Structure formats: C-alpha cells, structure tokens
Structure 1
Amino acid sequence: MMGDVSTSVRFRLLEVPYDSGHRDARHGAGPGALVAAGAVERLGARGADVAHGRVELDRPSGFTIEAATGAEVMRRVAEDVAAHPGRVPVVLAGNCGVTLGVVAGLRAAAPERRVAVLWFDAHGDLQSPSTSASGFFDGMGFAMMGGRCWQTLAASVPGFVPLPDERAVLVGGHDLDAPERALLDEGGPAWLSVADIRAGRTGEVLDRVAAYADAVHIHVDLDVHDVSVAPANSYAAPGGLLPEEVRETVAAALARLPLASATIASWDPTCDVEHRMRDTGLALVDLLARLAV
C-alpha cells in the first residue's frame, strides 16, 4: 500500500471551477490554479494514466440561483464520474457539495459498492435551511449527502442515495455551529476531532467505518488546516490540523480501505500566503498518487 503506484491505476483529474454558481471566481479559481501549478503531472508522476477534464455549465455568466446552480454542478460531476468507471476520480472543486456528485457517480457506475466518506473540513457542512443563519448552500453539503435536507435537489443527481451515518466521518471539524454539534453528539455522522486525532483515536474510528465499507472517498476542504499554515479561504478558522496530521489521517484511511475517489476543495488563491496552502493541496495530490492501488 505504501509503495509506488502501479501503472494500472487510471485517474480522472476533474476541474470543477465553480463557487456558488460563479466560474473561476473566489474558491472557483482554486482548481485552475492547482492545475497550473502541476496537479495533473503530480498525479501521473509515478506512472499512472491521468485523464484531465473540466466541468463547464451551459449557461452564460450573470444571474444565478445558488442552490439550483450548485445542484446542476453536482449532476454534471456525477455524469462525468459515471462515464469513466475505470478511473479513480480526483476532483479539484470550488465548493464542497461537489462531493455529493462524485459519490453519486460512483454509485451509478457500481451500485453494489459501499463507499465511505471522510469529510475533512473546518466546518461541519451539516446545516439545513431550517438551521442556517446565512442560507449558504454549500454549508449544507454534508447534510445533503446524508439525506437531511434538499431531498428533491439531491434526488435529481444521477446515482444519489443518502449516505448512511455509519459510513460518514467529519474529520478535523473545529468551527461548528450549535445545531451541528448537537447532531454530531446525538448520533449523526462520526466526528474525529482535532483533539481526537492528537489523542490517538484515529484508528478506532477508522476501523469502525471500514467494517461498513468497501472503499473510501477522501474529501478535503483545505480550510481544515490551521490558519498558521495559511488561510485556505475567507472562512478559515484557527484551531485546525497541521498538514502532516491531515496526510497521516488520509494514509491511515487508505491503509484500511482502497481509494474510491477524492475531492480537494475550497481553496481561494487570493487568501493564500507565499503559496503555502497551494503547496499543501499539491502534497495531498502527491499522497493520493502514492497510495492509490
């Protein structure tokens, strides 16, 4: 598992350059910047075959409805993933909700496969329209994956079924609202906190999840990292994980389950400092290339 990737591994690196319906702006500028910095080459550096694609919506720039456009992006991602069943999707995304489309596309291609999701994020993304004070659609992405909100929109994504809580883990969440904490405390998705990771509890949580899954999706909102590294975006908050802690947790997961797919999301290049968060994201690409089997 820890050796060089086999040349039989076939990746699909997919750019999804949208943030709240706007292309190549704010977080949506992150995917293209990672590609410009060498993400495709890094993914293929150990001999893997990498196909490179980009999601484009068939609509002019201008007025958009965040939820409708967000769901359209999810559908396009699901369709792309399902159309390339022999490839491991590595998705560079502006918004976190794209992961719903990735996992739905995997299920459309292989309905019997049980994919767990490790959701690395400073935030829970477990809000709903009834609990969110901001109404930010992407702050509901993990809740939507679990079937807790936006059920009609979610059902429009090909292959979507709600993710069972036993296959869902919030990793490194440290800037949570009271309703999100209540959900986690009352038996929602597992929560592997920063304190849990530093106390050595990673293995027991991952073992529990692996018992219910055949493969794992690694979702990393780059703001799971502490702001001392560099702010990933304008929502970044202190108290996060260090890059080596994120990578060690990803490696621990991939020692238990094969990589089904991955998302690296929500990097706003204008918030970065000396390219430190960009390079942190690229180091994750390197790790995925090394550990995929």
Structure 2
Amino acid sequence: MSSAAAVAGLGIKDLGFVYFDAHDDLDSPDVNENGYFDAMGLSMLRGESWKTLMNTVPGHHPMELRDKFVYCGLRDLSEVQRQRVADVGMDVIWGDATKKVDFKAALEAVLERKNFSPSLVHLDLDVLDESLGNVNDYPSPGGLHEEELVACLGLVLKKVTPTSLTVCSFDPDTGDGDKIAKIGIRTIITFLKGMQETKALSGNN
C-alpha cells in the first residue's frame, strides 16, 4: 500500500520496481482469504481492484508491472498467489527454506539483464528470515539474513537509479521489536548514505 501511494506521488510513467517482500501483494478481493488490505497493493496499482477508490488518488495511473519489476525474497504464497505472479510475468528471486539461495548473485543477474532505472525500492521487513525474529504476524523461513539484505541493497545502488525507498509492515509488538528495529534502521541508513554517495539523493531532494 505504501508503495502504491509513493508511485502516485512520484508521477514517473516508466518506473521500475525492486521489491523486497515475502509476499506478492497482488491479491484482489476475489482471491484474498484474510481481508488483509495491504496484500492488495499491487493489484490496486495495476488497476485490477478497488478501481473507484484508486481513481480518487491524485497522480494514480494503472501500471502493467511486468517488464521492470523484480521480487527478491518472495516465498510465503498460496498456490493461487503463485499462479497470479506467474500470470503477470514479473521476475522473481524466490526464497527457499529447503536450500541456500544466493540472493545477491541472483539479483545481480536480473539487474544486469534489464534496465530498472529509475526505480522504486520497496522493503517489507518480513523479507527477513524468521530466524531473526518476528517482524509482524507473518514470519516465514527461507528469507534474507541481515548481511544479505544490506548486500542486496548495496547492489541496487550500483545497478539502478533509485527514486525512493518505502519501508513497511513492521509491528514492534510481535515480540522482537528492538532486534528488528535495529536491523531496519541500519538498512535504511546504509541505503540513504549510498543514495547520497551516488548523487541519487542530494540536499535539495
């Protein structure tokens, strides 16, 4: 949801997406099983759901989200949700609880194959592996560890021109608030410093 709002505010038609999230956010009300509104953010952005509501958002225009979109760490999906991701045709770097995934190498391969600039960077902290603690009510195994996330975001700064960073879905009351907050703060500060160093973020922005 936060990224859908950011897209409307940015007003960039050819915007790319680097999407760190354990969940696809492509649900529509027709397939959603728990009423969780944030699970519908990308379907709203695509113009598939909540059309009347989204038409009231200044700057909103439906986007295809096919050629310049990559998920990293996606894993906690139902079979219906997996099929929706396949149908839309985004690039995906899947998280996997049964084997080690080299997230940085896989992401680098995608970012070298396509031009994602300019790009919105979406960071849902539940992309972190559940062994690090509860980010929210939807932890899952097979995600990124802290150093992997920092490394992947550093790679994004080298390969993509970021326009914004949205950070979402952190609930400090789920049991591991202080630990996750420290990881999140470190990640955000590192990314913003990198944006300054690459001139993607200046004192005038």
Tell me the TM-score normalised to structure 1 length.
Answer: 0.60
Structure number with larger C-alpha Rg: 1
- Asked whether the equivalents of residues 72 and 107 of structure 2 are also in contact (C-alpha less than 8 Å), the reply is no
After superposition, the C-alpha distances for 1:245-282 in whole angstroms (9 at most, x for unaligned) are 12222222221222200111111111242711001110
Q: Note if 1:260 corresponds to 2:160.
A: no
CA-to-aligned-CA distance 1:202-228 (integer Å, 9 cap, x gap): 122123442xx4311111111110111
Q: Distance in 1 between matches of 2:84 and 2:143?
A: 20
> Between the two proteins, what is the percent identity of the paired residues?
30
Matched, 1:118 2:21: no
Residue 78 of structure 2: aligned partner: 177
Match of 2:164, SS state, is strand
- For residues 44-55 of structure 1, the aligned pairs below 5 Å read none
Q: Which runs of 5+ in 2 are unaligned?
A: 200-205
CA distance in 2: counterparts of 1:146 and 1:208, whole angstroms:
24
TM-score in terms of structure 2 length: 0.84
Once residues 248 and 235 of structure 1 are traced to their aligned partners in structure 2, the CA distance between those partners, rounded to angstroms, is: 24
What letter corresponds to residue 201 of structure 1 in structure 2?
A
For residues 16-62 of structure 1, give each alpha carbon's deviation from its aligned partner in whole angstroms, at most 9, with x where no partner exists. Answer: xxxxxxxxxxxxxxxxxxxxxxxxxxxxxxxxxxxxxxxxxxxxxxx
Residue equivalent to 2:203: none
Q: Deviations over 1:61-95 (max 9, x none)?
A: xxxxxxxxxxxxxxxxxxxxxxxxxxxxxxxxxxx
Q: Which residue of the other structure, out of 129, 154, 157, is the alignment partner of 1:226?
A: 129
Find the aligned partners of 2:46 and 2:88 in 1 and give their Cα distance. 13
Paired residue for 2:6? 102
SS at the partner of 2:63? coil
Q: Distance in 1 between matches of 2:128 and 2:186?
A: 13
Q: How many residues align?
A: 191
Between the aligned partners of 2:87 and 2:94, the Cα distance in structure 1 is: 16
Q: How many angstroms apart in 2 are the aligned matches of 1:257 and 1:227? A: 28
What is the root-mean-square deviation in Å for CA atoms of aligned residues? Answer: 2.0
Structure 2 counterpart SS, 1:186: helix
Relative distance call for 1:141 and 1:192 in structure 2 (3 A) is same
> What does residue range 1-293 of structure 1 map to in structure 2 within 5 Å?
97-107=1-11, 111=12, 114-164=14-64, 165-194=66-95, 198=102, 200-210=105-115, 213-273=116-176, 275-292=178-195, 293=199
